[in-house]
Structure 1
Amino acid sequence: MAEIFIRKFSEVSGGRFDPEFYIGQTIQIATYPLKNFVKIKSGKRIPKGRSYANTTTTYKYLRVDDLDSEILEIDIDKLKSIDKDIFTLLERYEIHNDEVALSIAGTIGKVFIFHNTTSNRVILTENCVKLQAQDNLLPKFLSLILKTDFLQSQMKRQYIQTTIPKLAIERIKELQIPSIPPLSTQQHIIDLMDKAYKAKQEKENKAKELLDSIDSYLLEELGIILPLRANNTLDSRIYTQKISALSGSRFDANYHQKYYRDLEKSLLSSPYPLVNLASLINNFKKGIEVGSSEYSQNKEIPFIRVSDITNNGIDFDNVQKFISASLFENLKAYKPKQNELLYSKDGTVGICLEADVSRDYIISGGILRLELKAEVDKDFLCFLLGSYMINVFANRVSIGAVIKHLNIGEFLNLKIPLPPLAIQTQIANRLKSSKFQALSLEKEAKEILNKAKIDVETLLLSAGGGNPCI
């Protein structure tokens, strides 16, 4: 919905004229510029013509994609490696313990307090800055301030609206924060958030256990035991194959790995008949690519891409692309319907979910709509297509070194075990119960953290002498 408001000319004269900058800008508390409390230093890009190391090294590169404001730790060992000579060139941009990383390009406002207990040394990307807290400010408390809606909304108003959004360092320095409470109060607030993060993590771990059990139960009921996968050593990846076995088949080495043959044998061990997926599908339809010129800035109708879906549903809250209502009227044929499954065939291959018909949206060309026949339980097939085993088979027949593409013919030719309908329904009901419990736990985890954030922001703002109008 459009927001209409007015500002006096004297308020905008000599400043910015884009309306987004002034939305909800009024602040009713005493605030101070961030530069009074921190030192701000930039990161650096890898030199032009150079790239990440081909082997694992003890020199790492921290990117925006590696940051997550909702987690407390990063696995430093899993960061991209760089060569020693590149590290030497960029050494002044190394990030150290208790420095706060803040993303300033692309995704604005990701916040992470850096902890490194390994022997690795880490360079910070040019798309972030690092903030060093002064003596009267605890680093972890600084990270909590930056995560508040009070600061995040300021960052949103301050960044430059370009193809890749950017937040200038000079504008970061002028971000307004409430007065800093005594160190004891800062620690109390940190303890509140640590307790919330711990409770959130416990519920998420329980949810993960339930979701992980879905695959195990499904395979057990289908009488399938997965083969062990060899360690990813050089010896395990070298094997021979007769030319007769390759004739009329694919020549890429990955396709002919022994693990796939073992997996096929496991599939054959199921007591239930194997059928081609095509025999269970009445009809299938692809989504559509509307083109970037058709994207709407008004967030009217969601344009759902593969990055917006998981086996648990569509993440409508974080959809990035939208189309206009008028364009949607012309593309209604691409809106999923009742009792359809959605399946990702491009990029991340193998995501399967039930179509959500509670709202209007259309799907991208990387997603298939599957209309099923009566002899298959929709929920059973959804769990099966989203399982690890079928995912392995689907990715095996996909093509593309960088972005995978699953040929629809290859997809429809996949073989799956098919129990009688009554057993399908029995299995599906058990799995739906586990999934519901898991999603409920995930929801509770989010609510715990959100409540803690609200409580903390209230404490921060009350210390500043009032409430924000943001």
Structure 2
Amino acid sequence: MSSFTISPTLNKDKVFILNLSQVEHRLDPNFYRQIFKDNIEKIKANNYKRIGEVVKFSNETWNQKDFFSSTFPYIEISEIDTLSGDIKNLSEVDIADAPSRAKMIVRENDIIVSTTRPNRGAISFVKRENDFSIASTGFAVIRSLTTEEFDKEYLFAVLRQKFSLLQLEQRSSGGNYPAITQDELSNVVIPIPNKSIQEKVKAIFNTCFELKSKNEATAANILRSIDTYLLQELGITLPTPPENILTNRMFTVSMNEISGKRFDPAYHQVYFHKLVASIVNSKYKSRRIGEEINEINYGASFTNDYVESGVPLLRIKDLRRNEIVIDKVVFLPEIARKLLGNSFVKQNDFLISRSGTIGVVSLVSKEIDGFAFGSFMIKFNLKSDKVLNREFLSYYLNCKLLIDLIERDKIGAIQGNITIPIIKSLLVPVPPLDKQKEIADHITGIRKQAQQLKDKTKELLKKASEEIEEILLN
């Protein structure tokens, strides 16, 4: 081997030579890249342990029958906030619709690590409110420690650092969706300094997340001001929600008022009538959205058997109010394209959730043009832009007033849903187009303020990570 040399002009992370003694159980060249080698050497320069030596993984699984009556709390990888490790938008899934991978039982204080694309850092410390949830088999579940050299809080902080995520990347295998096995995860090494340094690392980590929580609370207050501004500009005064007492739950309705309508009492509550009246009595004449809709249809039904490439798919979990967030694109087989009909979105289409958290609305951006969408959503577009400004309509449909009205209109009890006729019947005040644009632009500005706080949080997390790495590896 000593007779072979590599030109110094070549990228040593792409072209390198190994001695046979350096080869581990892996033969894939990617595993031996210089960046990975340097990372391991930094960690091993100090006291360290393999994860497999210091943790016990849980294999506790759910048989998809017991414990839950109708729905169950399901944690998917995409629901982990990769910045904070928090579990966001926890899904309540019908047992009958449980994906085959919904099997891992997680408990308070477990650490769950995504084994698919693990270098993204979808790692979470399970809190009390998520105790006894069901997680995807795409997670490895760390249940306990076998050492007193450190605690789970330190382990969680360290697993989320760049030097750990690089190892997860190194030890993964696969193409578009690399994954790590539990055995390979066990071979990841972590630094174990003295307790005082561990406490310092935890303090930096916790301080950073306290600031994150503060920024998020401020951003939430900024976003809450949107409803106040929007309704004030439209001249809409919301009625005071009634106190939940017996006298407020008792009312009479004449047969004329319910003729041709629904007979369920909740639909006819006085509060809902007042909400509708607040729209009718606003500054501007209102019309039903259906009058301006050009095309509207439900999404397609399909199985959850995704492939590595094919037809890109929007899922209901990707839908947020006024935005679509895709952390991981999933694909249906190309053969499904012919069966999907018009269940594809185009730029400037509206998508609205019809099941789960119903009434979540967003406009489709250019980047998502051509994606298919599932049956839990409804797509519609407008006849023209001469009556309704799209951004204005999106903001209006996501305000508290419409959320309450859509909740009234849903059909079904436990897992309610909305239909195309319900969407078409929704009332919207129609100011002049220049006023609509003024409102939309102002709200967009408010949202940008909130986003700036989120960006500031990302920078805080980055700096904290750099500080922790400096303490542990240098």
Q: What residue in structure 1 maps to residue 152 of structure 2?
A: 139
Deviation at 1:447, TM superposition (A): 3.1
Q: What is the distance in 1 between the residues matched to 2:162 and 2:300? A: 34
- Note the residue ranges of structure 1 that are not aligned, 5 or more in a row: 55-60, 81-92, 464-470
Shift of 1:213: 0.6
| 1:435 equivalenced with 2:443 (yes/no) | no
Question: Is 1:40 aligned to residue 50 of structure 2?
Answer: no
Residue 51 of structure 1, CA deviation:
3.0
TM-score, structure 2 as length reference? 0.70
The whole-number CA distance in structure 2 between the counterparts of 1:6 and 1:121 is 46
Give the alignment's TM-score, normalised by structure 1: 0.71
Q: 1:370, CA displacement in angstroms?
A: 1.4
Establish whether residue 263 from structure 1 lines up as the match of residue 275 from structure 2: yes
Note closer, same or farther for the CA distance 1:229–1:158 as it changes in structure 2 (3 Å cut): farther
Matched with 1:353 is: 362
Is 1:276 equivalent to 2:272 in the alignment? no
Q: Which residue of 1 aligns with 2:217?
A: 205
Q: Distance in 1 between matches of 2:446 and 2:51?
A: 46
Shift, 1:223, TM fit:
1.4
Alignment counterpart, residue 380 of structure 2, candidates 369, 372, 375: 369
Matches for 1:215-234 after TM superposition, within 5 Å = 215-232=227-244
1:466 equivalent in structure 2: none
| Corresponding residue number in structure 2 for 1:310 | 320
Q: CA deviation at 1:52?
A: 4.7
After TM superposition, the structure 1 = structure 2 runs for residues 136-215 of structure 1, keeping only pairs within 5 Å, are 136-152=149-165, 174-215=186-227
The answer as to whether partners of 2:227 and 2:400 remain within 8 angstroms in 1 is: yes
Query: Structure 1's 288 and 48: CA in aligned 2 closer, same or farther, altered over 3 A?
Result: closer
Over 3 Å counting, the alpha-carbon distance change for 1:189 and 1:277 in structure 2 is same
Post-superposition Cα deviations, 1:405-426, rounded to whole Å, max 9, x if no partner, equal 4322331222111122232222
> Following TM superposition, by how much is the alpha carbon of 1:400 offset from its aligned partner in structure 2, in angstroms?
3.9
C-alpha RMSD of the superposition: 4.9
Q: Does the CA-based 8 Å contact 1:304-1:361 persist in structure 2?
A: no
Greater shift, 379-388 or 288-297, is seen at 288-297
Q: CA deviation at 1:427?
A: 1.9
Whether the aligned pair in 2 keeps the contact of 1:302 and 1:319 (CA below 8 Å) is no
CA contact (8 A) 2:322 2:362 kept: yes
CA positional deviation for 1:384: 1.0
1:417 is aligned, of 411, 419, 429, to 429
- 8 A contact 1:341–1:382 mirrored in 2: no
**Match for residue 249 of structure 1?**
261
Distance of aligned partners of 1:6 and 1:74 in 2 relative to their CA distance in 1, 3 Å threshold: closer
Letter paired with 2:154: F
How many Å apart are 1:374 and its aligned residue?
0.7
Contact 1:151 1:175 in 2 (8 A): no
**Alpha-carbon distance in structure 2 between the residues aligned to 1:177 and 1:294:** 34
Aligned to 1:342: 350
Is contact 2:115-2:179 (8 Å) kept? Answer: yes
Mapping of residues 35-184 of structure 1, within 5 Å: 35-36=52-53, 38-40=54-56, 42=58, 44=60, 50-52=66-68, 64=75, 99-102=109-112, 111-113=123-125, 128-132=141-145, 134-152=147-165, 174-184=186-196
Q: Which residue of 1 aligns with 2:9?
A: none
What is the distance in 2 between the residues matched to 1:395 and 1:5? Answer: 60
Provide closer, same or farther for how the CA distance between residues 290 and 14 of structure 1 changes in structure 2, counting only shifts above 3 A: farther
Cα displacement (A) at 1:79: 13
Contact 2:358 2:418 in 1 (8 A): yes
Per-residue deviation, 1:228? 2.2
Higher deviation after alignment, 391-400 or 428-437: 391-400
CA–CA separation in structure 2 for the residues paired with 1:324 and 1:50? 33
Post-superposition offset of 1:216: 0.8
CA distance in 1, matches of 2:392, 2:263: 34
Q: Which stretch has the larger CA shift, 152-161 or 131-140? A: 152-161
Where does the alignment leave 5 or more consecutive residues of structure 2 unmatched?
Answer: 1-13, 93-104
- The answer to whether the Cα contact below 8 Å between 1:346 and 1:405 also exists between their aligned partners in 2 is yes
CA distance, structure 2, for counterparts of residue 232 and residue 170 of structure 1: 54
For the residues of structure 1 that align with 2:268 and 2:30, how far apart are their CA atoms? 55
Q: Is structure 2 residue 465 aligned with structure 1 residue 453?
A: yes
Higher relative contact order (CA 8 A, sep 6+): 1
* Aligned CA distance change for structure 1 residues 159 and 129 (closer, same or farther; 3 Å): farther
| AA in 1 matched with 2:379 | L
Shift in CA distance, 400/458, structure 1 to aligned 2, threshold 3 Å: farther
Tell me, in whole angstroms, the C-alpha distance in 1 between the residues paired with 2:130 and 2:229.
43
Which residue does 1:90 correspond to in 2? none
